[in-house]
Structure 1
Amino acid sequence: MQQPIHATTVIGIYHNGQIALGADGQATMGNTIAKSNVRKVRVLAGGKVLAGFAGSTADAFTLIERFEEKLNGYGGNLKRAAIELAKDWRMDRFLRRLEAMLIVASKDDLLIISGTGDVLEPDNGVASIGSGSMFAQSAAVALKKHAPHLTAEEMVRESLNIAADICIYTNHNLVVETL
């Protein structure tokens, strides 16, 4: 049986009134690189919302579609859409089996959504998911503290590059979007 495509690094940073969300492009199947340029960050709601995913690609696309439906159904209210998606994800028999996580962001909010019903808003303006998430998050926290002159986009890029240097499931093919 073929193993699902998984493993990645996605990071969102809120810094000086700017949001940036980025991800590497690597997808793996077991210990093999299956694709090196997967686009794991999406722009939604006419450019007002960003969403990034980690986990099974097909599952993540399903979740992003559902999130976008919720976003439209709740008039663009990011937090409400995230909470409603998390509720559905946890309760729905089909959605419960999906193996992915999301980071969603608007101009004012940065959230992590998981299948266990969690909607987390990070304290430090840094949200990360995926196999290289702790490497990227550590780099981002250090950059926010010691290089506050950098933009959110520059911090995301540097954090992802640091994670890619350490995590075998993360590459240097980056996609970064900003609001």
Structure 2
Amino acid sequence: MATFHGTTILTVRHQGKVAMGGDGQVTLGSTVMKADAVKIRRLAEGRVLCGFAGATADAFALLERFEGKLKDYPANLTRAATELAKEWRTDRALRRLEALMTVADDRYVLLISGTGDIIQPSDGVLGIGSGGQFALAAARALLRAKPELTAAEIVQQAMEIAAEIDVYTNERLIVEEIECRSCHPHPRWRISTKRSRREKSSRRST
């Protein structure tokens, strides 16, 4: 049975803004089924950008779950991402979903995978999908060679380069951008590994 291929999503945090771009191509086997698919969404009243790569139905199912987590934990992207990754890894139905998600707000850029991983790129640049590595390499080169470009301009140009290389990526691009309020260029997110007193006491008693 033929499978769906495609999708390139690129996120760049630069000069006080975060931009996310995605192409529009959906490929089934060797056939282009759609050229103008929308793979970028604005969530939480426009404060969060979300892009997805993988099987279309699976991606939309995860997008719906993530939107629910954002409602449960408003203004807390990392907690919403953690809860989604936890549910994605442990739920039998969700474990079969084949997709990747990248999410970003004014502070963080995160990759969420079905293995329960949440990855924050050290330089604020993240690419996923069939042409993700091409777009990532192009974006990093542009950041070094032309740092005066805006985040949206870097995403646009890097995605165009990826589309020239990857057969599953086209040039029907959608780029969304939000402003960053954090003064630190790439704030780090750390998961606390400290045990609570109750956990420590129960561990000693056993």
TM range (shorter): over 0.9
- 2:45 match: secondary structure: helix
Which residue identity lines up with residue 163 of structure 1 in the other structure? Answer: A
CA distance in 1, matches of 2:19, 2:3: 28
List, as ranges, runs of 4+ consecutive aligned residues in structure 1 with deviation greater than 4 Å.
Answer: none
In structure 1, the residue matched to 2:40 is 41
Q: Provide Cα deviations, 1:70-128, integer angstroms capped at 9, x if missing partner.
A: 01101231011011101100110010000100010001110011101111000111011
Which residue identity lines up with residue 104 of structure 1 in the other structure? Answer: V
Identity of aligned residues (%): 54
CA distance in 1, matches of 2:164, 2:71: 38
Mind listing any 5+ residue stretches in structure 1 that lack a counterpart? none
In structure 2, the residue matched to 1:20 is 19
1:104 equivalenced with 2:103 (yes/no)? yes
CA distance in 2, matches of 1:105, 1:45: 11
1:53 equivalenced with 2:52 (yes/no)? yes
In structure 1, the residue matched to 2:202 is none
Q: Provide Cα deviations, 1:20-64, integer angstroms capped at 9, x if missing partner.
A: 001000000111111101000000000100000000111101111
Deviation (angstroms), 1:146? 1.1
- 1:46 match: secondary structure: coil
1:167 equivalenced with 2:166 (yes/no)? yes
Which residue identity lines up with residue 93 of structure 1 in the other structure? Answer: R
CA distance in 2, matches of 1:6, 1:70: 27
In structure 2, the residue matched to 1:64 is 63
Which residue identity lines up with residue 152 of structure 2 in the other structure? Answer: E
CA distance in 1, matches of 2:101, 2:121: 13
CA distance in 1, matches of 2:5, 2:95: 17
Mind listing any 5+ residue stretches in structure 2 that lack a counterpart? 179-206
Task: Provide TM-score, normalisation by structure 1.
Answer: 0.97
1:116 equivalenced with 2:111 (yes/no)? no
In structure 2, the residue matched to 1:144 is 143
Contact 1:9 1:54 in 2 (8 A): yes
Deviation (angstroms), 1:5? 2.3
How many residues are paired up? 178
Which residue identity lines up with residue 140 of structure 1 in the other structure? Answer: A
Higher CA-based Rg: 2
Q: Provide Cα deviations, 1:132-159, integer angstroms capped at 9, x if missing partner.
A: 0110000001111111100000000001
CA distance in 2, matches of 1:37, 1:124: 30
- 1:82 match: secondary structure: helix
- 2:140 match: secondary structure: helix
1:130 equivalenced with 2:139 (yes/no)? no
Contact 1:10 1:23 in 2 (8 A): yes
